[in-house]
Amino acid sequence: MRSARSKVLHEVAGLSLLGHVMGAAGEAGGTAQAVVVGRAAEQVGAEARRCGHNVTIAEQTERLGTGHAVLAARQAIAEGYDDVLVLFGDTPLITPQSLKPLRAALAEGAAVAVMGFRTSQPDGYGRLVEVDGELVAIREDKDASEEERKITFCNGGIMGLSGSKALELLEAIGNDNAKGEYYLTDCVAIARERGLKVVATQADEEELIGVNDRNELARVEALWQARKRRELMEAGVSLQAPGSVHFSFDTVIGADSRIEPDVWFGPGVRVGANVHIRAFSHIEGAEIGDHAVIGPFARLRPGTRMAEKTKIGNFCETKNTSVEAGAKINHLSYIGDARVGAAANIGAGTITCNYDGLNKHFTDIGANAFVGTGSALVAPVSIGDGAYIASGSVITQDVPANAMAVARGRQVNKDGHARTIRARNEQFKRDRQKG
């Protein structure tokens, strides 16, 4: 990756590669997770604990092959689970739907289950050799016979081991090979020699794609996004230009919502039903109620909570703000650290002045309040229910319910003074050009 970060900490759809894999394992029914770490052990361990459940960390201090890596988690394996799945932290497209058949095969009596995929271009991959429904060998490409090279069922790397047999199989792996390493794939031959059942299950080829560089990271991101778009459209969400919309790993959108082009969803977004999100909006850490309208060119930052039938319009930004039912923030406004009461109307160019240089302060805007265009609300301040803020006001004190507040300088008109100003400005321009 040519990065200061461990490979598995790089992200797809806002979640680390490791997080995707651990999430799939958990959804497949895993009750404990052991993560084998090497480089950047502390950082990877912290991410594993954040993403998983019942997590133990095992460190591989020497790199002596895949079998050696799995045995670094010997203590966890020895706990005696029904089955042990060996996954890779750089395959973020793996799904629980593909892991469950692996577990089912072990529950049905297999000692080893290997996940494979079918491809029209098998060159370079280990072939899965089956006889009468059982896996008899994993044949590396360089060692395969001419007949075996025709096999299109290839090794995907992921393996399941019966919990009662896992340690004895792993401990039986030797290193009598050119590299002197312990290969996990040797479990197949060892199990067969002991008369144990070995089978293969199948997953889609794309689920087993690993990430080793930035190009592959971008490819996996594109595949994940395409998968998410299909899922949402199949669930009743309309994407006007699907390829232009970016989702995060946890984006939730309700049925009959419409998403226009070039919308970006960061982590932590939940969208209700019948929501209309217009083009070029940027949304993260926000909850959006049913029948809301957003954008175009709106930015919803973390902590934004929109109730049903609310509106945040063009070139508006919100942060840590609750927008209650029926309220509208239509144009060119910034509302941060605030509550906007039900059916309140925020005029164009309104700003909540929430930061004093050191601390953030709260603005409370009551139900049915009207805030006129170009107003600045200097927090902490409270605008009562039904209050009316005159356009262009700078509000520094609380406004009672149903009161009108005007806070701006008195207008003064000076007849003919515009000519004086223009003449002065023209003279200034001439002097500057001369000198």
- Give the per-residue pLDDT at 99: 98
- Give the per-residue pLDDT at 364: 98
Neighbours of 91 (CB within 10 A): 21
CB 114 within 8 Å of CB 159 = yes
The band of 127, judged by pLDDT with boundaries at 50, 70 and 90, is very high
How far, CA to CA in Å, does 184 sit from each of 114, 126, 159, 236?
A: 11, 13, 9, 43
Query: How far is C-alpha 298 from the geometric centre of its chain's CA atoms?
Result: 20
Q: Which fold has domain 237-405?
A: UDP N-Acetylglucosamine Acyltransferase; domain 1 (2.160.10)
pLDDT at 406 over 90: yes
Question: What's the CA gap between 174 and 310, in Å, rounded?
Answer: 65
pLDDT at 178 over 90: no
Radius of gyration of the chain (CA): 31
- Give the per-residue pLDDT at 411: 87
pLDDT tens-digit readout, 95-118: 999 999 999 999 999 999 999 999
pLDDT tens-digit readout, 62-88: 999 999 999 999 999 999 999 999 999
Question: What's the CA gap between 9 and 362, in Å, rounded?
Answer: 36
CB 278 within 8 Å of CB 289 = no
Q: What does the CA dihedral 97, 98, 103, 106 come to, rounded to 10 degrees?
A: 140
Pairing of strands 11-12, 15-16: antiparallel
Q: What is the mean pLDDT of the chain?
A: 96
Beta bridge partners of 334: 317, 351
Q: What is the mean pLDDT of residues 214-223?
A: 98
CB 261 within 8 Å of CB 245 = yes
How far, CA to CA in Å, does 91 sit from each of 226, 260, 355?
A: 16, 31, 43
From 20, 53, 68, 331, active-site residue: 331
pLDDT tens-digit readout, 271-294: 999 999 999 999 999 999 999 999
Q: What angle do helix axes 17-27 and 96-107 make, rounded to 10 degrees?
A: 50
> What CATH number does domain 7-208 carry, 3.30.43.10, 1.10.10.10, 3.90.550.10, 3.40.50.300?
3.90.550.10
- Give the per-residue pLDDT at 359: 95
Q: Six-digit token pair at 272?
A: 């209700």
Tokens 């006007």, residue located: 240
Q: What angle do helix axes 41-51 and 17-27 make, rounded to 10 degrees?
A: 40
Does residue 331 have an active-site annotation? yes
Question: What's the CA gap between 9 and 152, in Å, rounded?
Answer: 32
Region of 62 (left: φ > 0; alpha: ψ -120 to 50; beta: rest) is beta
CB 8 within 8 Å of CB 68 = no
Domain ranges of the chain: 7-208, 237-405
pLDDT tens-digit readout, 375-394: 999 999 999 999 999 999 99
Domains 7-208 and 237-405 share a fold: no
Question: 91, 109, 35: which is closest to 203 by C-alpha?
Answer: 91
